[in-house]
A = this chain, B = another copy of it.
């Protein structure tokens, strides 16, 4: 009886830890989403000042990850959760690591923007780039919503939607390579644009990893089947 009460007390205390950690994770998600939205705006507007702010802003995400890491260790050591609780808390740890990598990718895009000149950026901000960037941002926003609401259906939609991002990435990459082949002066700029495109595609991949983690936390099992993949940039032969 005493043991049962103790278990219940632990469970309650642990639920409070999960609540606090979820709030920290929501704050971290907000930072990451903000960074991605800003760097996409900087890319579309050719604004090196916004890009600089994104590069500087990454440190806040890294520091948030370290705080979550430490809090997770403390929570497990203090509350000694059972398997289900552990999955929850390790899921939070994994999602924080995905968000940290999203931040790194936004920062890398920010650095590249600062070295491109604004004429190039204006020429580069094609419909293809806008399409892809808004698709990635939508995926990221949806997965963050699904995390806040523990909405598995939405997480599965994000997971399935990654192939649309991959397809837009392939189209855009072909467009950029075509221009580089025709105009040697466009080569260096084109390379930066290709890496930005690839970084956006990888942000989409991390959103999908988060979707898988949410599914695992809520359902206690892995999303079945091979992830739908339409990223053909490594197969590009044009």
Inter-chain contact A236/B77, CB cutoff 8 Å: no
Tell me whether A44 is interfacial, beta carbon within 8 Å: no
Contact digits for A175-219, partner B, Cβ 8 Å, 1 yes 0 no: 001001110100110011011001000000000000000000000
Docked Cα-Cα span, A200 to B195, in Å, equals 15
Inter-chain contact A86/B90, CB cutoff 8 Å: no
Contact digits for A70-91, partner B, Cβ 8 Å, 1 yes 0 no: 0011101100111100110010
Closest to A178 in B: B187
Chain B residues, CB < 8 A from A164: none
Beta-carbon contacts under 8 Å, A60-115 to B: 66, 69, 72-74, 76-77, 80-83, 86-87, 90, 93-94, 97, 108, 111-112, 115
Question: Chain A: interface secondary structure?
Answer: helix
Please count how many residues in chain A sit with their CB below 8 Å of the partner chain's CB atoms: 39
Inter-chain contact A234/B73, CB cutoff 8 Å: no
Given contacts A187-B177, A187-B180, A188-B236, contact A83 B77 (CB under 8 A): yes
Inter-chain contact A181/B177, CB cutoff 8 Å: no
Tell me whether A238 is interfacial, beta carbon within 8 Å: yes
Give A62 Cβ to nearest chain B Cβ, in Å. 11
Chain B residues, CB < 8 A from A1: none
Beta-carbon contacts under 8 Å, A153-189 to B: 177, 180-182, 184, 187-188
Inter-chain contact B73/A115, CB cutoff 8 Å: no
Oligomeric state, in copies = 2
Tell me whether A235 is interfacial, beta carbon within 8 Å: yes
Chain B residues, CB < 8 A from A80: 80
Docked Cα-Cα span, A94 to B191, in Å, equals 32
Closest to A76 in B: B86
Tell me whether A237 is interfacial, beta carbon within 8 Å: yes
Chain B residues, CB < 8 A from A180: 180, 184, 187, 191
Give A146 Cβ to nearest chain B Cβ, in Å. 21
Chain B residues, CB < 8 A from A181: 184, 187-188
Q: Please list the 3 inter-chain residue pairs (A to B) with the smallest Cβ-Cβ separation, ordered nearest first.
A: A111-B234, A77-B83, A80-B80
Q: What are 26 A-B contacts with C-beta separation under 8 Å?
A: A69-B90, A72-B90, A73-B83, A73-B86, A73-B87, A73-B90, A76-B76, A77-B81, A77-B83, A80-B80, A90-B93, A108-B234, A111-B234, A111-B235, A115-B235, A177-B188, A177-B191, A180-B187, A180-B191, A184-B184, A188-B237, A188-B238, A191-B191, A191-B236, A195-B198, A195-B234
